[in-house]
């Protein structure tokens, strides 16, 4: 009896260790992918942002630039820099930030591809991944026309900037950087400026880590791990939202926080209804570090752009959480076909994140 109990305890500890190891490899892959794409895309993204001439072009530039460099915070930082330097106005920056919010969701879809080989898992993972896209797309659909016509985000950000102006900021470094950056930097120094090689390595690492992570979760899902996730951390919408907000403010990356939940959906531990409020919390959490960083600069325009980011997300949540059945419905419907015909997932990525923004940018630049 004692030996059986010891064996079960050992098994739980082993599964926990393996789950954490595979989660680390997944996060390392995401970090490496971002670093690789920034390497050959950041100059192009900067040049794109500088050419913003109207709200629609700004939206698609924000989307396209963030897709290329895999970081909405980098896109936002570049935008803040241009606003502070007088190259962009606050009004021009707002659509770019909206586009960056959409572009950052591609990380979730990449995470869902780890379930590509198992149809049942992919049927659950892909809709859970794109609910973040749908939320941001629906928010932009309502808020961008309102912003063009009445400028509510710009006006409210101006009011709060006056309150915050002159206040000191707080610096905070993500604890993930301590354990991930040294390994990521070693790999990047090994591959040098061969960014395509490091990007391919990162993509392989992400897919491998998710496959192993889900396999471990599947073994543990009949035990206490599933109970912890389902009945404690994601017990209701409030706890899920607070978890998403807190984790994102802590690790300073909404794409990492939301993409970690995708394998849990693929494994059948979480539903899309549980992931949705968690995603909204993460969306809001990502603005916390932007505001802190802007306060540190002491630049009034930097603070104003950071506040625009927060206000956009607050407005989006205010609209689409009470009406949550709509984005969840669209995520399930849009995710249904790629779930059945999995090659359509790649077509979805190409059309939403590359073709549509690329065409609009080319049209508006003429």
The encoded tokens of residue 232 equal: 């404690």
pLDDT of residue 297: 59
Confidence label for 14 from pLDDT (cuts 50, 70 and 90): confident
Q: What angle do CA 183, 218, 19 make, to 5 degrees?
A: 20
Length of the chain: 366
* DSSP at 1: -
The percentage of the chain sitting over the pLDDT mark of 70, rounded to a whole number, equals: 80
The encoded tokens of residue 95 equal: 């659509």
pLDDT at residue 304 above 90? Answer: no
The encoded tokens of residue 205 equal: 């690492």
Q: Say which residue, 18 or 230, is predicted with more confidence.
A: 18
Please tell me the distance from the alpha carbon of residue 227 to that of residue 222, in angstroms, as a whole number.
9
pLDDT of residue 224: 58
pLDDT digits (tens, 9 = 90+) for 160-194: 887 766 555 544 455 666 778 888 888 888 877 66
Q: What is the mean pLDDT of residues 214-243?
A: 74
Please tell me the distance from the alpha carbon of residue 36 to that of residue 233, in angstroms, as a whole number.
33
Q: Are 302 and 83 in contact (CB under 8 A)?
A: yes
Q: Say which residue, 79 or 12, is predicted with more confidence.
A: 79
Q: Say which residue, 256 or 347, is predicted with more confidence.
A: 347
- Those residues whose C-beta lies under 8 Å from the C-beta of residue 38, and which sit 6 or more positions away, are 69, 70, 71, 74
Which spans in the chain are helix H? Answer: 2-50, 55-69, 72-84, 90-103, 106-112, 119-150, 152-164, 175-191, 195-220, 224-228, 237-251, 254-266, 272-297, 300-320, 325-340, 344-350, 356-365
pLDDT at residue 2 above 70? Answer: no
Q: What is the mean pLDDT of residues 44-65?
A: 78
User: Whose structure tokens read 């101006």?
Assistant: 158
pLDDT of residue 202: 79
Residue 317: how many other CB atoms lie within 10 Å: 19
Give the residue from 108, 89, 135 showing the smallest Cα distance to 301.
89
Q: Is the pTM here over 0.95, yes or no? A: no
Confidence label for 279 from pLDDT (cuts 50, 70 and 90): very high
pLDDT at residue 275 above 70? Answer: yes
pLDDT of residue 160: 86
pLDDT at residue 226 above 70? Answer: no
Q: Are 217 and 263 in contact (CB under 8 A)?
A: yes
Distances (CA, A) of 289 to 175, 245, 292: 13, 11, 5
pLDDT digits (tens, 9 = 90+) for 56-86: 888 998 898 888 877 777 787 778 777 777 7
pLDDT digits (tens, 9 = 90+) for 116-136: 888 888 999 999 999 999 999
Please tell me the distance from the alpha carbon of residue 249 to that of residue 188, in angstroms, as a whole number.
26
Please tell me the distance from the alpha carbon of residue 191 to that of residue 210, in angstroms, as a whole number.
23
Q: What is the mean pLDDT of residues 240-261?
A: 85
Q: Are 221 and 42 in contact (CB under 8 A)?
A: no
Is the alpha carbon torsion for 93, 96, 98, 103 positive or negative?
Answer: negative
Segment of 64-73, 261-270, 316-325 carrying the highest mean pLDDT: 316-325
Phi/psi at 85 (nearest 5 deg)?
-85, -5
- Those residues whose C-beta lies under 8 Å from the C-beta of residue 40, and which sit 6 or more positions away, are 195, 196
The encoded tokens of residue 94 equal: 């707002």
Q: Are 211 and 55 in contact (CB under 8 A)?
A: no
Least confident residue range of 32-36, 51-55, 97-101, 335-339: 32-36
């Amino acid at each position: 009896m004692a030996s059986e109990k010891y064996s079960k305890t050992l098994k739980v500890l082993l599964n926990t260790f393996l789950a954490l190891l595979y989660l680390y490899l997944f996060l390392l892959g995401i970090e490496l992918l971002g670093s690789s794409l920034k390497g050959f895309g950041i100059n192009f993204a900067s040049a794109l942002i500088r050419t913003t001439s109207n709200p629609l072009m700004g939206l698609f530039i924000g989307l396209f630039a963030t897709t290329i460099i895999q970081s909405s915070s980098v896109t936002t930082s570049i935008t803040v820099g241009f606003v502070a330097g007088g190259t962009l106005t606050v009004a021009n920056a707002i659509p770019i930030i909206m586009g960056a919010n959409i572009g950052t969701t591609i990380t979730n879809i990449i995470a869902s591809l780890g379930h590509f080989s198992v149809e049942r898992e992919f049927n659950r993972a892909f809709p859970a991944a794109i609910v973040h896209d749908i939320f941001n797309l629906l928010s932009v659909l309502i808020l961008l026309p309102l912003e063009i016509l009445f400028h509510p985000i710009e006006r409210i950000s101006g009011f709060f900037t006056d309150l915050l102006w002159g206040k000191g900021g707080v610096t905070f470094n993500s604890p993930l950087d301590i354990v991930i950056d040294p390994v990521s930097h070693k790999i990047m120094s090994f591959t040098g400026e061969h960014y395509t090689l490091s990007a391919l390595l990162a993509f392989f690492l992400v897919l491998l880590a998710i496959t192993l992570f889900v396999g471990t979760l599947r073994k543990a899902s009949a035990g206490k791990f599933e109970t912890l996730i389902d009945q404690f951390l994601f017990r209701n919408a409030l706890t899920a939202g607070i978890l998403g907000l807190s984790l994102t403010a802590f690790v300073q990356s909404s794409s990492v926080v939301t993409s970690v939940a995708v394998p849990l959906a693929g494994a059948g531990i979480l539903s899309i209804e549980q992931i949705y409020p968690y995603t909204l919390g993460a969306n809001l959490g990502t603005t916390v570090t932007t505001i802190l960083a802007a306060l540190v600069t002491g630049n009034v325009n930097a603070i104003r752009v950071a506040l625009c980011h927060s206000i956009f997300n607050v407005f989006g949540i205010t609209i689409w959480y009470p009406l949550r059945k709509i984005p969840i419905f669209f995520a399930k419907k849009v995710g249904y076909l790629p779930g059945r015909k999995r090659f359509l997932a790649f077509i979805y990525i190409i059309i939403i994140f590359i073709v549509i923004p690329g065409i609009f940018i080319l049209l508006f630049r003429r």
